[in-house]
Amino acid sequence: MNRRTTTTFNTLAITIIAALLLVPIFILGQGPATATKSQPAAAPAAKAPAAAAKAWVTPRTPDGQPDLQGYWTNATYNQLERAVANANKPFFTKEEFDERVRRAALTDEQQTTPGTTGDVHYDFTQFGLDKSQNAFVADMRTGMITDPPDGRIPAQTAEAKKRTADRAAAYRANAGAQGDSVLTIPIGSRCIIYNPPPGPPMLPQGYNGNYQIIQSRDSLMILFEQIGDIRIVYLDGRPAPPANIRLTMGASRGHWEGETLVVETTNFSDRPQARNAALSGISDNFKLIEKFKRTGENSFDYEFTVNDPATFEKPWTASMPFTRIKGPIFEAACHEGNYGIEDTLKGYRALDGKPAEAVAPAAPRGGGRGAPPRGQ
């Protein structure tokens, strides 16, 4: 027998021995699924959910805080206030909810008239922006407001009604002149901040209602996809700024109460918060309390309480779930750097027959938006 034949037999023998040694290991690894008559499967173990399923535990940051980080959405077909007819009905049935979602999805698809400017600009379904093509929260409640018990926003005070009327009149007066200069164009149209803003409170938006949360020991950052608005919540115990400093997103200060992040926000500017229908008429003393609490691997609960005795006859509270989405979120390029402003004003000049005026960009060409302070 030559060397090649000897080597071949030796190799074959090693392969067979290895195979025989591996067989018992494979069978042992498959034990529960290959029970024999002499060794039946342990049925009681399959009926012990406590042993089979590990209880979910709130994840924590390296600093030991409950971890709120990630990509989230509160997109929903639910509404803030209950309909008057549902004052004593906190939940829809599954059939009612499914029908509500079906009708709302049809509305998403039919929201613009073909051939119009709006159809070109806001064809949500073409670009997958409608909620029916994205993750949304299946909230079967008839409204988000949990207090008062009827799910309705409390009545406004007489003082607040006057403030609301005065602001609405000023807005209407400015609307006719919004093409006169950069400063008269609404800040939402200028893409300085979404109008109404994405928070606080963090109410569901029409589209792009996605958030990213990044957290450290001393602060928490909330990035909103629409226009890229950024909000900072400070957790280091610093006081709110002086009362004469007003911010479009207010000044947010947070602390932990057990598993819940509690955030108090004050120092709101009345623009653009006053454009939020739920907060129209708010006073300079408006205070918002928010609570964030993780409820599962892919969810957290968000609750806010509006406290403004000069505006509402009593405080009111709403809550909604957030669900995790796959990141990243994207830049909403809303005529980035206000490049579109110059052309907008030229268009108005063409319409009114006046000579085109030299318009300085509202923000540097480098990409800044010239925005007022958003939060401190």
Whether residue 62 is preceded by a cis peptide bond, meaning omega within 30 degrees of 0, is: no
Tokens of 191: 């893409």
| pLDDT on residue 23 | 37
Query: CA 122 to CA 171: how far, in whole Å?
Result: 24
Cα-based torsion angle of the residue sequence 339, 129, 171, 267 in order, rounded to the nearest 10 degrees: -90
The pLDDT profile of the chain, 376 residues, written as one tens digit per residue, is 443 334 333 443 434 333 433 333 332 333 333 333 333 333 344 444 455 568 999 999 999 999 999 999 998 888 899 999 998 899 999 999 888 888 877 776 655 666 665 665 555 666 666 666 666 777 889 999 999 999 999 999 999 999 888 887 877 776 667 778 887 777 777 777 776 677 899 988 877 889 999 999 999 999 998 888 899 999 999 999 999 999 888 999 999 999 999 999 999 886 555 556 778 778 888 899 999 999 999 999 999 999 999 999 999 999 999 999 999 988 777 765 556 778 888 888 887 775 544 443 333 333 333 333 334 5
Task: Look at phi and psi of residue 313 and say left if phi exceeds 0, alpha if psi is from -120 to 50, else beta.
Answer: alpha
Read off φ and ψ for residue 252, nearest 5 degrees: -105, 130
Contacting residues for 322 by C-beta, under 8 A, at least 6 apart: 72, 73, 74, 137, 211, 299, 300, 301, 302
| pLDDT on residue 321 | 94
Q: In the beta sheet, which residues pair with residue 187?
A: none
How big is the chain by its Cα radius of gyration, in Å?
29
| pLDDT on residue 112 | 63
Written in H, E and C, the secondary structure of the chain is CCHHHHHHHHHHHHHHHHHHHHHHHHHHHCHHHCCECCECCCHHHHCCHHHHCCCCCCCECCCCCECCCEEEECCECCCCCCCHHHCCCCECCHHHHHHHHHHHHHHHHCCCCCCCHHHHHCCCHHHCCCHHHCCCECCCECCCEEECCCCCCCCECHHHHHHHHHHHHHHHHHHCCCCCCHHHCCCCCCCCCCCCCCCCCCCCCCCCCEEEEEECCCEEEEEECHHHCEEEEECCCCCCCCCCCCECCCEEEEEEECCEEEEEEECECHHHHCCCHHHCCCCCCCEEEEEEEEEECCEEEEEEEEECCCCECCCEEEEEEEEECCCCCCCCCCCHHHHHHHHHHHHHHHHHCCCCCCCCCCCCCCCCCCCCCCCC
Cβ atoms of 160 and 314 within 8 Å: the answer is no
pTM value surpassing 0.75? no
| pLDDT on residue 166 | 85
